């Protein structure tokens, strides 16, 4: 079984400030972890994913995330927020054992950028 918890349904940061979106997971086997972004009235776009290689994962648009097994966390960060980062962000987990294909999503974090 697997689950994802995203702390903070709404996060506001000033333009140029650090972005930190939190994600904690639980998984019965080693997980694959994903961050997706959703802009208004659009589908989900992959930002980055953890696949058991490097624990620090770099993605698109300057985002990165670090897998910390001891903390069961996969927080998303960006050093300097841009106005274009305003969107909803979803963390997702998938079990790595064969036959488990579904993504289990967190409830999402809506990021607002303050000019």
Partner 1 sequence: GAGVSQSPSNKVTEKGKDVELRCDPISGHTALYWYRQSLGQGLEFLIYFQGNSAPDKSGLPSDRFSAERTGGSVSTLTIQRTQQEDSAVYLCASSLGTGGSGTQYFGPGTRLLVL
Question: Contact positions toward partner 1, by CB under 8 A?
Answer: 32, 34, 36, 41-46, 49, 51-52, 90, 92, 94, 96, 98-99, 101-108
Phi, psi of 87 (to 5 degrees): 180, -175
Q: Please answer whether residues 18 and 111 qualify as being in contact, where contact means their C-beta atoms are separated by less than 8 angstroms.
A: no
CB of 112 to partner 1, least distance (A): 19
Nearer to partner 1, 22 or 105 (CB): 105
CA 95 distance to own-chain centroid: 16
Q: Tell the smallest beta-carbon distance from residue 2 to partner 1 (Å).
A: 11
- Minimum distance from residue 12 beta carbon to partner 1 (Å): 21
What backbone torsions phi and psi does residue 64 show, to the nearest 5 degrees? Answer: -145, 160
Q: Under a CB-based contact definition with an 8 Å cutoff, are residues 74 and 19 in contact?
A: no
């Amino acid at each position: 079984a697997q689950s994802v918890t995203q702390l903070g349904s709404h996060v506001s940061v000033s333009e140029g400030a650090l972005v930190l979106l939190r994600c904690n997971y639980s998984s019965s086997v080693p997980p694959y972890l994903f961050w997706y972004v959703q802009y208004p009235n659009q589908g989900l776009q992959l930002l980055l994913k953890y696949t058991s290689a490097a624990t620090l994962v770099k993605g698109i648009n300057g985002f990165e995330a670090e897998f910390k097994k001891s903390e069961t966390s996969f927080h998303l960060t960006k050093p300097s927020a841009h106005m274009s980062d305003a969107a909803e962000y979803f963390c997702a987990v998938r079990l790595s054992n064969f036959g488990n294909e579904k993504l289990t999503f967190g409830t999402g974090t809506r990021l607002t950028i303050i000019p």
